[in-house]
Structure 1
Amino acid sequence: MTTETQTGRPDPEWPQVYDSPEFQRLRSRFRRFVFPMTALFLAWYALYVLLADYAHDFMSHKIGGNITVGLIFGLGQFVSTFAITGFYVWYADRKLDPAAEAIRHELEGEAL
C-alpha cells in the first residue's frame, strides 16, 4: 500500500529504501560520527561533574583574579558544545547531506 505525497507522486516503499545499500551507508556515516561524539561529550561532562564533586581544592584553585579552574571547566562545556555543533555541521555538509540528497533525487526520479 502506498500513499501519495503533497506532490501527487506515490511515496516510495519504505522497506526498499531502508534496505538499500545507499541508505545503509548514510546511516553508517551518521552513526560513525554521532556515537563517538556523544561518548566524548558525555565523558567530558562526567569529568567536570566528578571533579566539581570530589576535587574541590583543584576546582577552586584560582588561575587569576576570581577565575578558577572550575569556572574554566564550566565555560569549556559551552565551548565544547559549540565546537561539536560546528564540527557536525561541517561533517553533515560534506558527508551526510550529499548522500541524502542523492537518495532523495533517486526516490523522486530526478536527475542530478
Structure 2
Amino acid sequence: MQSSNGPRGAGDGPERPAGNQEERGTPSRDVTFEDPWHDARASGWGELDSAGAPVPAVPPARGEPGATAIRARDVYVEVQRSAAFQEVRGRYRRFVVPGVVGFLVWYLGYVVTATTAPGLMARPVAGAVNVGMLAGLGQFLTTFLLTWAYARHARLHRDRAALELRWDTQELARGARGGAQ
C-alpha cells in the first residue's frame, strides 16, 4: 500500500505528480495532494459538522464499561455458575485429564527408555524393525487414537449440551443489551 504523502504515477488517482506542479510555479516543498484522507483527523475530536456545530463526542470504546456491558457480564457470570455449564466442564475434564496424563506418561516413558536403555530399543523384532521403531510408530498411532477418541467424546457427550448452553447465553446477553445486536 502506498503512502498518500509520496508521489504517484499517472493514472493512480486525482493527484498530480510534483513535477507538474513545479511547472505551474508551485514550489515542490508546498506540494499538496488532492487526497481526502490526507490530514484527516482520526479521532473525530474538535471537528465541526456542516452547520458549524461541534461534532458529538465519540461513543465509548468496546473495552470501556457501560451499563449494558455490566449487565452482559453478569449474564456470563451467571451462566458460568450454572449447573449446566459445570456439567459440560466436568465432562471435559473427566476425559481430558486422564487422557493427557496417560499420553504424557507413555511419551516420557518412550523418551526415557530410548535414552537410558538403548540396548532394549535396538533389540530386533522382525528383520530391520526394532523395539525403538515400533515404540516410535506407536507414538503416532496413540496420537491419532487419542484425537479420534477426543472428537468422539466431544460429539457424543458435550457438543449438544454446550450448543444449548451457548444458545441460552446469547439469548440472555441479547436481553441484557436491550435487544440491540
TM-score (normalised: structure 2)? 0.54
Equivalent position of 1:63 in the other structure: 125
Offset of residue 106 of structure 1: 2.0
Offset of residue 105 of structure 1: 2.5
Write the mapping of 1:52-91 to structure 2, written as runs, cut at 5 A: 52-91=114-153
Q: 8 Å contact 1:2–1:12 — kept in the other structure?
A: no
Give the distance between the partners of 1:97 and 1:12, measured in 2 at CA.
Answer: 24
Unpaired segments ≥5 residues, structure 1: 4-9
Q: Structure 1 or 2: larger helix share? A: 1
Q: 8 Å contact 1:2–1:13 — kept in the other structure?
A: no
Give the distance between the partners of 1:47 and 1:28, measured in 2 at CA.
Answer: 28
Give the distance between the partners of 1:41 and 1:31, measured in 2 at CA.
Answer: 15
Counting aligned pairs with the same residue, the percent is 37
Equivalent position of 2:88 in the other structure: 26
Query: 1:59–1:2: structure 2 CA closer, same or farther, 3 Å change rule?
Result: farther
Offset of residue 12 of structure 1: 7.0
Equivalent position of 1:15 in the other structure: 77
Bigger-Rg structure (1/2): 2
Post-superposition Cα deviations, 1:85-112, rounded to whole Å, max 9, x if no partner, equal 0000100000110110111222234xxx
Give the distance between the partners of 1:28 and 1:38, measured in 2 at CA.
Answer: 15
Equivalent position of 1:97 in the other structure: 159
3-state DSSP of counterpart to 1:13: helix
Unpaired segments ≥5 residues, structure 2: 1-66, 172-181
Give the distance between the partners of 1:40 and 1:81, measured in 2 at CA.
Answer: 11
Q: How many residues align?
A: 104
Q: Aligned Cα RMSD in Å?
A: 1.8
- Highest RCO, 1 vs 2 (Cα 8 Å, sep ≥ 6): 1
Runs of 4+ aligned structure 1 residues displaced above 3 Å come to none
Give the distance between the partners of 1:2 and 1:25, measured in 2 at CA.
Answer: 28
TM-score (normalised: structure 1)? 0.85
